[in-house]
Structure 1
Amino acid sequence: MEGKVVMVTGGASGLGAASVRMLVREGARVAITDLNEQAGQALAKELGMATRFWRLDVTREEDWTPAVDAVLATFGRLDVMVNNAGVGIVKDVETISLQEWRWVHSVNQDGVFLGCKQAIRAMRQCGAKGSIINMSSVAALVGSAAFPAYCSSKASVRLLTKSVALHCAQKGYDIRCNSVHPVYVETPMLDKLASVMGDAAAAKERLGKSIPLGRLGQPDEVAHAVVYLASDESSLMTGSELVLDGGMTAM
């Protein structure tokens, strides 16, 4: 990753923060973006000169252009976009409201669409070369009755990724686009999910046991996949999904 510039949405915590730390450790300069300014600024301060933080609401198209332009002005280029920002609501199809459904899709679906669009714009200014990494989920591959909006939005990310990959290939851009599909991982989002399910510790234990490997994932296990897709070592990979599910989709 030496010399590469990466932009990570939802980079202040969870999978985003783990990816930021590992990318910096591998030599990248990283633009951290998030709505959580306090956590984002703290992470940038922790990691030093290799990072900068910008506040970004991924659902607002008017926020994207100035944020990406600021990254280009600060670091001089953009090589990798990690569309990681995501949300979820634990309500089934009968109880979730249309407003809640739209909110989940605005972040998980619209935010990734805008991230892909802006990444291509920026990368074309830097030689039309780069890697777009879209954080999806095992929930895009295996349904769940408990959170249909999350499943729907993450499934959209999977096929949007393939469409973007084909578009870039057909245009002759050397811009790759792949999706990552983790199972339940120890993050603040999982903590919120577990708290809705009653006793949080017991819920997390049940979720871990539901995975064939018998445990929850760790953020660094996903960050390793992000670094691989960001690097030139994955140069033949585009339009693909990297599944980190502990065997769940094998059942």
Structure 2
Amino acid sequence: MNMLEGDVVLVLGGGSGLGLGIARHCIAEGARVAIMEIAEEKLAALKPELGAEVLLFHGDVTSVEDLTACRRAVVERWGRLNALIGSQGIFDGNVPLREVPVERVAPLFDELFHVNVLGYFLAARVFGDLLEDSAGAIVLTSSVAAYAADGGGLMYTATKGAVVSAVRQLALEFAPRVRVNGVAPGAIADSQLRGPRALGLDHFKQSDVPKDAMLATYRTLSLMRELPTPLEYAPIYAFLASRHNTVVTGQTVLLEQGALNRAMLSAPGMTGGVGAGLTPRP
């Protein structure tokens, strides 16, 4: 069974990384896919692979004009939209607030919240009526950073927490016709999230971190041994976006590979277990 057979799915930020993995999986599940991406070079590189069957749209998710133009293109091509998946995002470089020059705090806030949060709000507004017409779905991307410190710096963490709250509110506002959910991934192999322009880090991507170092750190935190790829996260998005999801709305699915369930008392060095050295009372 193809989970998305015949459905029309729009992936925001689908030109690389997590978004591209989601788009590829949706295609494999039978969906007709549109990708909105701000980087023209990414779309040009994808065209030979994806061909004319996929609608590749160049646009900025923070622009109402671009989102509206994308809506027109989707409607002209297919006449409807069944699912909106938001995967765009900017990382903050994990720079502590105390190290951000005070004059850069506001620009950093504006840059991350515009892409990571406002882009989702605007898309929900622009495409919402199409999704109501089709009894469709919205799936937005949060992060483990919304649930635990040190998954990013203050700005990134705050944007991802905002997404979790937005999912709840949008689910209420769009009920009962549209199911609204989120996915909160943990570490992602070959993540293409770039750093913020406000700190001069827009040339840096998370995938620039040496893979061996990234994997070694990951293994100290996770109960699993390998970094998940975008394609391994994608099936969760596909299910939540599909008509087969008839029971979940207003929820954010936390996919942290056991990092929040790590060993404490049984960790190396804590020998003998929790009762070691204790003398039972008579």
Q: Structure 2 length as normaliser, TM-score?
A: 0.80
Does 2:167 match 1:155?
no
Shift of residue 70, structure 1, vs aligned partner: 1.4
Shift of residue 234, structure 1, vs aligned partner: 1.3
Distance in 2, matches of 1:145 and 1:24, equals 30
Corresponding residue of 2:17: 14
Query: Is contact 2:144–2:151 with CA below 8 Å preserved after alignment?
Result: no
Query: Is contact 2:19–2:88 with CA below 8 Å preserved after alignment?
Result: yes
Corresponding residue of 1:202: 213
- Equivalent residue in structure 1 for 2:96, among 92, 97, 103: 92
Shift of residue 233, structure 1, vs aligned partner: 1.9
Q: Which amino acid aligns with 1:94?
A: R
Query: Is contact 2:215–2:226 with CA below 8 Å preserved after alignment?
Result: no
- Equivalent residue in structure 1 for 2:206, among 174, 188, 193: 193
Corresponding residue of 1:54: 57
Cα deviation per residue 1:41-100 (whole Å; 9 max; x = unaligned)?
332431234311011111122221111121111121100000111111121111232212
Q: CA RMSD in A?
A: 2.0
Query: Is contact 2:82–2:134 with CA below 8 Å preserved after alignment?
Result: no
Shift of residue 145, structure 1, vs aligned partner: 7.4
Cα deviation per residue 1:117-159 (whole Å; 9 max; x = unaligned)?
12213223xx251010001111111122751111100110011
DSSP-derived class of the 2:21 partner = helix
Shift of residue 220, structure 1, vs aligned partner: 1.2
- Equivalent residue in structure 2 for 1:121, among 115, 122, 129: 129
Does 2:172 match 1:166?
yes
DSSP-derived class of the 2:99 partner = coil
Matches for 1:58-69 after TM superposition, within 5 Å: 58-69=61-72
DSSP-derived class of the 1:189 partner = coil
Shift of residue 185, structure 1, vs aligned partner: 0.5
Cα deviation per residue 1:97-119 (whole Å; 9 max; x = unaligned)?
22122201110011111122122
Distance in 2, matches of 1:230 and 1:2, equals 12
- Equivalent residue in structure 2 for 1:247, among 258, 263, 281: 258
- Equivalent residue in structure 1 for 2:36, among 20, 33, 36: 33
Shift of residue 200, structure 1, vs aligned partner: 5.8
Q: Which amino acid aligns with 1:37?
A: E
Q: Which amino acid aligns with 2:193?
A: M
Distance in 2, matches of 1:32 and 1:44, equals 11
Distance in 2, matches of 1:146 and 1:244, equals 16
Matches for 1:130-141 after TM superposition, within 5 Å: 130-141=136-147
Corresponding residue of 2:115: 107
Distance 1:130 1:211, change over 3 A: same
Q: Which amino acid aligns with 1:59?
A: T
Structure with larger Rg? 2
Q: Which amino acid aligns with 1:104?
A: L
Q: Which amino acid aligns with 2:67?
A: W
Distance in 2, matches of 1:201 and 1:244, equals 22
- How many residues end up aligned between the 2 structures? 244
Query: Is contact 1:68–1:122 with CA below 8 Å preserved after alignment?
Result: no
Distance in 1, matches of 2:136 and 2:144, equals 25
Q: Which amino acid aligns with 2:29?
A: E
DSSP-derived class of the 2:260 partner = helix
Corresponding residue of 1:42: 45
Q: In percent, how many aligned pairs have the same letter?
A: 30
